[in-house]
Chains A and B, each alone.
Chain A
Amino acid sequence: MTPAAGTTMAQALNAALRDALDGDERVLVFGEDVGPLGGVFRVTDGLTAKFGEDRCFDTPLAESGIVGFAVGMAMGGFRPVVEMQFDAFAYPAFEQIASHVAKMRNRTRGRVELPIVIRIPYAGGIGGVEHHCDSSEGYYAHTPGLKVVTPATVADAYSLLREAIDDPDPVIFLEPKKLYWSKAQVALPARTEPFGRAAIRRPGADATVVAYGPAVPVALEAAEAAAEEGWDLEVLDLRTIVPFDDDTVVASVRRTGRCVVLSEAAGFGGVGAEIAARVQERCFHSLLAPVLRVTGFDIPYPPPMLEHHHLPSVDRILDALDRLQRDDEPDTRYLLAGGVA
């Protein structure tokens, strides 16, 4: 069914949870305020009413407890889908995630599987106060044993969440908060490409912009602006950070010869750095310019009235593109200015 006005990402996620609960009685949803309230972003709206308190329920307010409890329930044969209310509020659960969720299969040599989905609303752009806007994907992507997924479209939100719940491995499912209310005409249930495949959101010939999650719409906007300046950008949406789709990224950059990596997170030591490294390792002889990153600054997430200075903007992407054209003199801005490196 497609509502005439379109479906929001939050509604698509809600539909994915509803269909998963409907299709498999082992699936459970729990966390803080996910019951009668329906979650602070309404992603679990109506699930308790439809499926009962045994299938979608509130827990004590303790993130480590929620994730650890999910570990035990998964060992007992359930398929928990838990919600961390906000990115930075998931940090108390990090020990459970890094030491147990990520490692259980490995430390038991495949004998104990943990099919757990940990949903985390993440990243900024919604005017949130501190501790509500972190881009925490780097912590999870750096932890072997976790799959790290982040949708940028409404159809992907549905499809990737269904796949995450079906997956035998634990999945960190990062929901870009600022896209919760983005809309598209999609017929649900929708199935898109599986985990591990990046999508070409806009084909182009002159340069590849690699983005994921909340940065994808920004990349597409920049591509439109760049087109007016005669640049034909290809925009890739990773969809899953882990597993990572080297093939699509490499094929694109070898074709275009130029690459800009876009990420809201702080740049230093982040997912963007990993992508840039992989591109230069695999595409060195095809590259016509250095691989550049456009990322958030290396600062704690700023107060809401200042966040627009921090977030990668269309202008900052266009500025990076200018530098991709350079093929003679060293660019002193590149050496002296911060922020774009």
Chain B
Amino acid sequence: MTDRHQGGRPGPLLPSERPVRFLTDGGTPARGRHPYPEPDQELLLRAYRRMVVGRRFDAQATALTKQGRLAVYPSSRGQEACQVGAVLALDDGDWLFPTYRESVALVTRGIPPVEVLSLLRGDAHCGYDPHRHHVAPQCTPLATQTVHAAGLAYAERRKGSGRVVLVFVGDGATSEGDFHEALNFAAVFRAPVVFLVQNNRYAISVPLERQTAAPALAYKGIGYGVRSEQVDGNDAVAVLAVLGAAVAHARSGGGPFLVEAHTYRLEPHTNADDATRYRADAETEQWRRRDPIARLKAYLRRSGRLGDDEAAAIAAEAEEVAARLRAGMNADPDLAPLDLFAHVYREPTPQLAEQRALLRSELQAEEVPA
């Protein structure tokens, strides 16, 4: 075993000094040097399509909270380049470990929207089959899923499957111990896992300055020997380029990779939050001008890849997705109260069998006509 602990500089691990970007805020080619090739136009067009559909989904989900069809919804409006870029950077067999804010990523992955929203509607903690989609349950305790991602990535490496794992975290979660333990485990075991930090500037109300004194969150990787990078998270071209490189790095045996995407949550934390209490409208307005969808659209328009017909077709697809979501969410979910006992253990304990019988008798009593 070679001793990697001889001191020295973290050179190859260091992120770029400035977030990698391909596009300016206006969608024109940006200057600046970085080693990443531009993704092909076909992929960019697919990303644009998924981002438009994702935003429409997001708006519809927010509207459904107002109608009482969702208990709560954490919007990812403004973060579509990250949500979609992460999914498109992966193969279908690769795993995703999402948080509660990754609904758009999960819809992009192809999980039926109603199943994605089960957690937030409140009929089930996880509406989809994680093994079928290779997507872990949406995680609410912050950063706790990062160690799972590292463990699953190591399991895939041990099996020689060639699969990669991508785990989402926010800026706040980088302060949690599990985030650091996950980076460390992933590095020590050379697990093929990409940590995507969506730095959207706020952990509910607490701003980034209160989370870290580091020059960028991307620097949190290098102390663990993890190759790290930062990217303009509202530039879909840059997100796809950097995540593509990160995924390739992990898949080829290079170990974990940390990407910090600088982005912004345009909406409040959830529909129950009041963002005016902790941030200025002017700041939000400034980020609206860096909208990831408008930027990519301008770029694809200019390159001639996105014509009027195609844009119209994408807009129509988005409306269709929204209509299907409305219809799906307006139907009441099937609730099976006795299933509360079905999945605590593979076989219910005698005590759970007793409690199930109690609930069943209560339900039967309710059914008796008055």
Within 8 A of B (CB), among A58-78: 59-60, 62, 64-65, 67-78
A144 within 8 A of B: yes
Q: Is the Cβ of A108 less than 8 Å from the Cβ of B126?
A: yes
Contact of B151 among A75, A108, A110, A112 (CB under 8 A): A75
B 179-201 to A, binary, CB cutoff 8 A, 1 in contact else 0: 00110110010000000000000
Query: Given the complex of chains A and B, what is the CA–CA distance between A247 and B339 in angstroms?
Result: 25
Contact-residue bracket for chain A: 35 or more
Contacts known (A65-B147, A68-B147, A72-B154); A109 close to B349, Cβ less than 8 A: no
* List of A residues within 8 angstroms of B177 by Cβ: 64, 92
* List of B residues within 8 angstroms of A70 by Cβ: 151
Q: Which residue of B lies closest to A65 (CB)?
A: B181
User: Most B CB atoms within 10 A — which of A107, A169, A246?
Assistant: A107
B277 within 8 A of A: no
A 108-119 to B, binary, CB cutoff 8 A, 1 in contact else 0: 111111000000
Query: Given the complex of chains A and B, what is the CA–CA distance between A67 and B144 in angstroms?
Result: 10
Contacts known (A68-B144, A75-B136); A109 close to B126, Cβ less than 8 A: yes
Q: Is the Cβ of A68 less than 8 Å from the Cβ of B181?
A: yes
Q: Is the Cβ of A112 less than 8 Å from the Cβ of B147?
A: no
Contact-residue bracket for chain B: 35 or more
Q: Which residue of A lies closest to B124 (CB)?
A: A109
Q: Is the Cβ of B131 less than 8 Å from the Cβ of A65?
A: no
Query: Given the complex of chains A and B, what is the CA–CA distance between A244 and B131 in angstroms?
Result: 32
Q: Which residue of A lies closest to B349 (CB)?
A: A243
Contact of A64 among B126, B178, B188 (CB under 8 A): B178
Q: Is the Cβ of A110 less than 8 Å from the Cβ of B345?
A: no
Min distance, Cβ A251 to any Cβ of chain B, angstroms: 14
* List of B residues within 8 angstroms of A168 by Cβ: 346
Looking at A94-102, A121-129, A181-189, the stretch in contact with chain B turns out to be A94-102
Min distance, Cβ A249 to any Cβ of chain B, angstroms: 12
Q: Give B residues with C-beta under 8 Å from A.
A: 124-126, 129-132, 136-137, 141, 144, 146-156, 158-159, 177-178, 181-182, 184-185, 188, 339, 342-346, 349-351
Q: Can you give 9 A-B contacts (C-beta < 8 A)?
A: A68-B147, A68-B178, A71-B151, A73-B151, A74-B151, A76-B158, A99-B144, A109-B126, A111-B130
Q: Give A residues with C-beta under 8 Å from B.
A: 54, 59-60, 62, 64-65, 67-78, 92, 95-96, 99-100, 103-113, 144-145, 147, 168-169, 196, 242-244, 246-247
